[in-house]
Chain A
Amino acid sequence: MRSRRSGNLATYLVLGLVFLVVLFPVYYGLVGSFMGERDTNSFPPALWPVHGLQPDNYSSALRIIPLGSQYLTSVGQTLGIMVGQLVTSILAAYAFVFLPLRWRGFWFAVFLSTMMIPFESIIIPNYLLISSLGLKDTIAGLTLPFLATGFGTFLLRQSFLSFPMELRDAARVDGAGHFRFLSSILVPLSRPSLAALGIWSALSAWNMYFWPLLATEDPKHQTIQIGISQLQSSDGDSPGMVLAGVMLALFPTLLLVIFGQRFIVRGLTTGAVK
Chain B
Amino acid sequence: MALAYLVPALVVFGVFIFWPLVKSVLLSVQGTDILGNPSGFVGLVNYAKLFSDADFLTVLWVTFAFTILTVVPSIAIALFIALLLQTRIRGVRFFRTAFALPFAFSVATASVIFGVLYNPASGVLNGILSHLGVDKVHWLTDPDLALWSVSGATVWMQIGYNLLVISAGLGALPEDVLEAARLDGASGLRLQRSIVMPLITPQLFFLVVVGTIHSLQSFGQIRILTVGGPEGRTTTLVYSIYEQAFANNNSNYGYASAQAMVLLLIVLIITAVQFGVLERRVFYR
Measuring CB to CB, which residues of chain A are less than 8 angstroms from any residue of chain B? 8, 11-12, 14-15, 18-19, 22-23, 25-26, 28-29, 32, 40-45, 47, 87-89, 91-92, 94-95, 99-102, 107, 110-111, 114, 116-129, 144-148, 153, 203, 206-210, 213-214, 225-226, 228-229, 231-232, 236, 239, 242-243, 245-246, 249-250, 253-254, 256-258, 261, 264-265, 268-269, 272-274
Contacts and interface: CB of A to CB of B under 8 A. Distances in A.
Nearest to A40: B122
Interface in B1-25: 1-3, 5-6, 8-13, 15-17, 19-21, 23-24
A135 B221 CA distance: 26
A88 B2 contact: no
B131 A44 contact: yes
Q: Most chain-A CB neighbours within 10 Å: which of B16, B220, B224, B242?
A: B16
B70 interface: no
Contacts of B217: 118-120
A195 to B, nearest CB: 16
* Nearest 8 pairs of A and B residues by beta carbon: A44-B127, A207-B106, A99-B2, A125-B20, A95-B5, A148-B12, A125-B23, A148-B9
A92 to B, nearest CB: 5
Given A121-B267, A125-B24, A242 B81 contact: no
A257 B101 contact: yes
A232 B217 CA distance: 23
B84 A121 contact: no
15 contacts: A19-B99, A25-B102, A88-B9, A91-B6, A91-B8, A116-B267, A117-B264, A117-B267, A122-B264, A126-B16, A129-B15, A207-B108, A209-B108, A239-B119, A253-B105
Q: How large is the interface on B (under 10, 10 to 19, 20 to 34, 35 or more residues)?
A: 35 or more
B6 A118 contact: no
A250 B105 contact: yes
Contact of A129 (B20, B89, B156, B213): B20
Nearest to B19: A125
B253 interface: yes
A170 B224 CA distance: 56
B271 A116 contact: yes
B36 to A, nearest CB: 8
B238 A228 contact: no
A95 B8 CA distance: 12
B27 A124 contact: yes
A39 B228 CA distance: 30
Contact of A11 (B15, B23, B84, B257): B84
Nearest to B220: A209
Nearest to B99: A22
Contacts of B112: 228-229, 231-232, 242-243, 245-246
A41 B271 contact: no
A253 B257 CA distance: 33
- Provide the main secondary structure of the chain A interface: helix
Interface in B98-153: 98-117, 119, 121-124, 126-128, 130-131
B4 to A, nearest CB: 8
A14 B100 CA distance: 18
B238 A120 contact: yes
B71 interface: no
Nearest to A204: B106
Nearest to B86: A11
A92 B7 CA distance: 8
A100 B6 CA distance: 12
A94 B1 CA distance: 13
B109 A22 contact: no
A258 B20 CA distance: 37
B263 to A, nearest CB: 5
Given A148-B13, A273-B213, A209 B219 contact: yes
B89 A11 contact: yes
Interface in B202-222: 203, 206, 209-210, 213, 216-217, 219-220
A45 B123 contact: yes
A232 B122 contact: no
